[in-house]
Amino acid sequence: MPKILVTGGCGFIGANLVPMLMEKGYHVRILDNLSKGSKEYIKDSNVNIQEGDIRDETIVSNALIGIDVVIHLAAYGSVVESVLDPVENFDINTKGTFTVLNACRKANIKQVIFSSTGGALIGNAKPPVNEQSVPKPISPYGSSKLCCEAYCSSFSSSYDMNITALRFANVIGPISSHKKGAVTAFMKAIINNIPIQIYGDGKATRDFLFVTDLCSGIIKALDKKLPGFNPIHLASGREVSVTELAKLIISIAGKSDHSINYHDKRIGEVERNFANYDLAKELLEFEPEHSLEDGLKKTWLWFLNENSKNENT
């Protein structure tokens, strides 16, 4: 089985992906600077973890020794924070990804899977978006991911590398309490008995994908070994408004009287976004197994369990 390096493997997606990879028999190594992730998230996996930053070429090169494939998850993932600090966002996402790609080139690693984004990269295009939609990012985060895809494309063509850029929908699921997204914020608000905060009028829409469905898509891309450069959306194809999302979570939590407060819209966030996944279905045989309701229920139960454990410590 190929030996795989997962950058950012101690984060939300990595902590869900790594056990699935190991269950399939893959040999896995993680490179993570632990700024967002934690070894605690994967404490039950017998996996080699190397601490270090993806912007450090020596660290990346050492992590690549004996590796066949790279799954590059490490990133500065917040739209709002990218608006506040575009320099750090560029440095981690664009410079970091370039460093990883260049180290792969030098190590003669021919297969890379890059974690991209759908909504932030495409911007305010009429949904549903797909791989033919013209990217017009409206946040530094979206711009950084578009830059990364451009380097993926050029490295693929210039150095005969097979690089698949998977454009993730908004991901939900266990091990996400440190994330900045709406689902995490809404569930924490309910647990802490404070109002849910929505920025804008609540009509903005998103596409939510359960984390094990996303990880299944990553593994399918790994196994398919598509030639050349391929940007592919991994999504649910379902558009849901932020207010609808909040009400679904309130219903799942059994807190029908929980209040919602609305505030001014935040800069950099797209208004409507969801993608179809026809290409993923065609090329990867990808099909999500979880409905939004099922995914939210599993995520809520995980948050409740974590809160219970914290109260008992």
SS3 at position 2? coil
Give me the active site residues, please: 141
H or E stretch covering 92: none
Distance CA 8, CA 10 (A): 6
**144 Cβ partners below 8 Å, 6+ apart?**
76, 82, 89, 90, 93, 94
**Nearest of 221, 206, 209 to residue 282 by alpha carbon:** 221
User: Omega of the bond prior to 288 within 30 degrees of 0, cis?
Assistant: no
DSSP one-letter string for 149-169: HHHHHHHHHHHT-EEEEEEE-
**Phi, then psi, of 203 in degrees rounded to 5:** -90, -10
d(CA 123, CA 140): 11
